[in-house]
Amino acid sequence: MGARTAWVLHVDLDQFVAAVEVLRRPELAGRPVVVGGRGDPTERGVVSTASYEARAAGVRSGMPLRVAARRLPDAVFLPVDAAEYDAVSDRVMATLRTLGAVVEVLGWDEAFLGAVTDDPEALARRAQEAVLAATGLHCSVGIGDNKVRAKIATEHGKPAGVFRLTAENWSAVMGDRPTIDLWGVGTKVSRRLAGLGVTTVRELAAAPVDALVAEFGPRMGVWYHELGQGLGPTTVDDRPWVPRGHGRETTFQENLTTPEQVRRAVRELTDRVVEDVAEDGRPVVRVALKVRYAPFVTTGASRRLAEPTRDPDALVAAVMALADRVEDREVRLLGVRAEMAMPEDAGPAERTPVRGRI
């Protein structure tokens, strides 16, 4: 046993949505399960999640259901049941709160735990055992000296394992790995880093800050430099999660082919978002419109409002102004989002707007 130290643990439910479905249908255990849309791979829709068996065949979240069906025709396709996932997630988080740690909920299937202990592995195993007993679900736990390292450690513990990643072993574990293995670095960012000659985590840690700032801006440039070193926040916050906004989107089974159809669909989505905003009670500071043209080109634009507002007419007018910029092309998906003032009033106003020709 070592000295009592402040630790951050990241708890991540293994293949959460697929696992919930298998619990309801035990006969599916060991079979490739794909959850998405209405569960019909002949319809337009995307994969929400896939079981490990389906992932082994190359099925990934965000993949069109039709592509998943071609890749894995014998998979079991199921519809998304958000209400059930909410209920199971609530039981998981309630269970984690019994462990004597601070619990910061990140979503349906993951949370940070903050605790002072001399044996974080023991706490991790207690979390796994408690969640399994309460829900029948397995989870992986990453242990770190900050949130970044704990989050990344979880990937090394999957499935159903425990892994510790700290300043001591950061370079040995992560140094030679590609930058895309870092939390918060996706395909586009990793490509931009490669353009700077940065392909590994070690190279990112050693990259000149000025070069990163020139490429990504003063905030994100510094963030990526620190990310390469595994630096990150250490405080686990148990305050209830507050969404930055509300959004609605629809994939159409048949493409929209006229401006009138597009405007009507945008208005319907906007009306639903306005209802969500009204229930939330916070003023909106920005609206955004997402458009996916046929066959599969996605773009979007946003508009910061002149002043925060709850006025439905003002919100509708702002979104419809964005709809006026939609190109005269066939549309297969539309999405409307409203970003709201945060309780601390520091979030949406500082976010970088989405730009692009729609």
Catalytic residues: 110
- How far is it, in rounded angstroms, from Cα 355 to Cα 350? 15
- How far is it, in rounded angstroms, from Cα 161 to Cα 24? 24
Residue with tokens 């399994």: 132
User: Are β-strands 33-35 and 110-117 bridged in parallel, bridged antiparallel, or unpaired?
Assistant: unpaired
- How far is it, in rounded angstroms, from Cα 59 to Cα 239? 35
- How far is it, in rounded angstroms, from Cα 287 to Cα 132? 41
Q: Which residues pair with 25 in a beta bridge?
A: none
Tokens of 198: 């940065």
Tokens of 38: 């209405």
Distances 84 to 20, 51, 63, 140, 241 between C-alpha atoms, Å: 8, 17, 23, 21, 19
The backbone region for 59, taken as left when phi is positive above 0, alpha when psi lies in -120 to 50, beta otherwise, is: beta
Q: What is the largest distance, in Å, between two alpha-carbon atoms of the chain?
A: 69
Burial of 344 (0-12, 13-18, 19+ CB in 10 A): exposed
